[in-house]
Chain A
Amino acid sequence: MSPERQVTEYIVHQFQPGVTADELDADYDLLANGIIDSLGLLRLVDWLDRTFDIAVGEADLAPSDFRTVGTICKFIKERSR
């Protein structure tokens, strides 16, 4: 499964049950539309950390990196070890 599909399925499953992964576009704004709030962001980062082996230091955690599935995938690509 591609990272994009993994991320989409995780977000749908965790934050928006009832929606299928196919419905969530890669550029849908997860923050402005209230899918991921500040507490949800922590859960997401923790999951990224475990799933993709990314070390996310707290100092470089910017919400804009997690605005859409697309930006999250870009973040994974840049940070993968």
Chain B
Amino acid sequence: MTARSLAECIQEHAVRDPSAPALAWRERYISYGELTAMARTEAAAYADSAVFVRAEKAPRTIARILGCLLRRRAALLAPDDQSAPALGDLVTELAAPETAGIAFMLTTSGSTGKPKVVPLPAAAVDRFTDWAIATFQIGPQTSVLNYAPLNFDLCLLDVWATLKAGGCVVLVDPQHATQPEYVARLINTHRVDVVQSVPMLYTLLNDAGCHGNSSVRHVMFTGDVMPGRVLTALPRMFDNARFYNIYGCTETNDSFMYELDGTESGPVPIGSPLPGVLALIADDHGDLTSGASHGELWVSTPFQANGYLRGGERDDRFVRHDGRIFFRSGDRVTRRADGIFALDGRIDFQVKVRGVRVNPQEIEAVMAAHPAVAEVAVVAVPDDLAGHRLLATVRRYSGAELTGLSLREHCAMRLSRPAIPSVVVVADEPLPRTATGKIDRQLLISRGRSES
């Protein structure tokens, strides 16, 4: 069955029921009629085949993206921080064939100034949004909470599947996103049916005692490990809902899902591949297996990109196998005898900070490039709320005037906001070493733990 076009479906809603609410933002609603009118106004100015959209949370941002969909332009969604200008330059360089058939260009949350761009074909987005609408019963009367920033892949469900179905997207104002009472009030005022978020939101709601939230039917968490105490509290937090752990990467979109049965208390498996998703495991010998095993997860999904923008030959994450393109996820998984998959960790050093994937090694390289830095180590300290916090320990050259503050400014020009370490310690003493002469990262992590 061919998937329905996202842009056409939204236009149809605007024609059939122009006064129906599309977005709830601050104290007002924006109707489908208003949203599509805004989108057409924005689109009138689009000259290039790709359009740079800074993902400030606002109806106008959604209108700009919708304008791209309507006029078949590729929308490059950039984080709303200082690292964005480099991406703005990219848009003007892109030639039309590079973006043909592309709806969204998302960036991987790579920590360095040059993130990888993930071009998602319109057809892939059409298939994904159809899956989401059917699975979570999203329709014209449905309200869906949008907690994630508008450049996150989560928005393909929260925002774009909802608009395709004619529902209402309830936008969380980022200024209040860490105030659980505000989010709970939004949920209850707008009778929100579907909530998807990284675990942080559920931790905040639970710790503030925001329970009940009875309008919610489906609760999805994704992007990080759910703390055990929050997991067991979910049925009190949402007393009328079903719960799902969703696994996916920006490159492939959602790939696995596990519905909780209420008995889970420890780590939740990622479950089974979604319909149409193929999953392989590359074991430690590099052999691809399909039985019970451990190794790196490779996935091929109907919702995926087929390579990074301008990935070229260095792009070794997308591999052709058996006539399909697989994405090497970088995640270590175990496939149990019953076919259920569990996530074991990363095969590299990547960690998540507030739901965003960062690579401490890349951040070290950026900091080491500062002329006054003699040596530096960046470690990820586990944190209940943020997932991880980054701790940078730096030795400056003797006589250098470097401080943590000036080094932060160096980082802010080159790194996305979540990749700037939350603690930067600059000293004249050498970094601690192990008996074998390597930087003692475990010691740095335990220092970081005791300080929080």
Q: Do A and B bind each other?
A: yes
CB-nearest residue of chain A relative to B425?
Answer: A18
Q: Which residues of B contact A63 (CB under 8 A)?
A: 175
List B contacts of A42 (CB < 8 A): 178-179
**Which residue of B has the minimal Cβ distance to A64?**
B175
Tell me, yes or no, whether A26 is within 8 Å of chain B by CB: no
Cβ–Cβ contact B421 & A34, under 8 A = yes
The answer, among B177, B179, B412, B427, for a CB contact under 8 Å with A18, is B427
Interface string of A4-33 (1 = CB under 8 A from B): 000000000001111100011000110011
Known: A34-B420, A34-B422. A28 touches B178 (CB 8 A): no
For the complex formed, measure the closest distance between the CB of A68 and the CB atoms of chain B, giving whole angstroms.
12
Which residue from chain A places its CB closest to the CB of B451 in the assembled complex? A17
Task: Please determine whether A62 and B175 come into contact, CB atoms closer than 8 angstroms.
Answer: yes
**Could you list 14 further interchain pairs (A-B, Cβ under 8 angstroms) beyond the known A33-B409, A33-B412?**
A15-B422, A16-B404, A16-B424, A17-B425, A29-B412, A32-B81, A34-B421, A37-B422, A39-B178, A39-B386, A42-B178, A58-B179, A58-B182, A63-B175
CB atoms of A33 and B178 under 8 A apart? no
A55 contact set on B, CB distance < 8 A: none
Q: Is A48 an interface residue (CB 8 A)?
A: no
- The answer to whether B423 and A39 touch across the interface, beta carbons within 8 angstroms, is no
Q: Mark A27-56, 1 if CB is under 8 A from B, else 0.
A: 011001111011111100000000000000
> Cβ of B418: which chain A residues have Cβ within 8 Å of it?
37
Whether, in the assembled complex, B114 has its beta carbon less than 8 Å from a beta carbon of chain A, the answer is no
Complex Cα spacing A34 to B82, Å? 11
The yes or no answer to B94 lying at the interface (CB within 8 A) is no
Contacts of A33 in B (CB 8 A): 405, 408-409, 411-412, 420
- Residues of B398-452 at the interface with A, using a CB-CB cut-off of 8 Å, are 403-405, 408-409, 411-412, 417-418, 420-427, 451
Q: Does B127 reach chain A (CB closer than 8 Å)? A: no
| Inter-subunit contact B420/A28 (CB<8 Å) | no
Query: Chain B interface residue count: which class?
Result: 20 to 34
A residues less than 8 Å from B412 (CB atoms): 29, 32-34
- 9 contacting pairs across A/B (C-beta < 8 A): A16-B404, A16-B424, A18-B424, A18-B425, A19-B403, A23-B403, A33-B420, A61-B179, A62-B175
A19 engages B386 (CB within 8 Å): no
Closest A residue, CB atoms, query B426: A18
Shortest CB-to-CB span from B436 to chain A, Å, is: 27
Q: Which residues of the other chain, B, contact A17 by a CB distance below 8 angstroms?
A: 423, 425, 451
Tell me which residues across on chain A come within 8 A of B28, comparing CB atoms. Answer: none
A14 vs B354: C-alpha distance when bound (angstroms) = 19
**Given A16-B423, A18-B426: A23 and B175 within 8 A (CB)?**
no
Q: Which of B361-406 contact A (CB under 8 A)?
A: 385-386, 403-405
Q: Is the CB of A16 within 8 A of B405?
A: yes
Complex CA distance for A14 and B182, rounded to whole angstroms: 25
> Nearest residue in B to A36 (C-beta to C-beta)?
B422
Query: A25 vs B181: C-alpha distance in the bound complex, in angstroms?
Result: 34
Distance of A61 Cα from B178 Cα, bound (Å): 12
- A17 CB, nearest partner CB in chain B, Å: 7
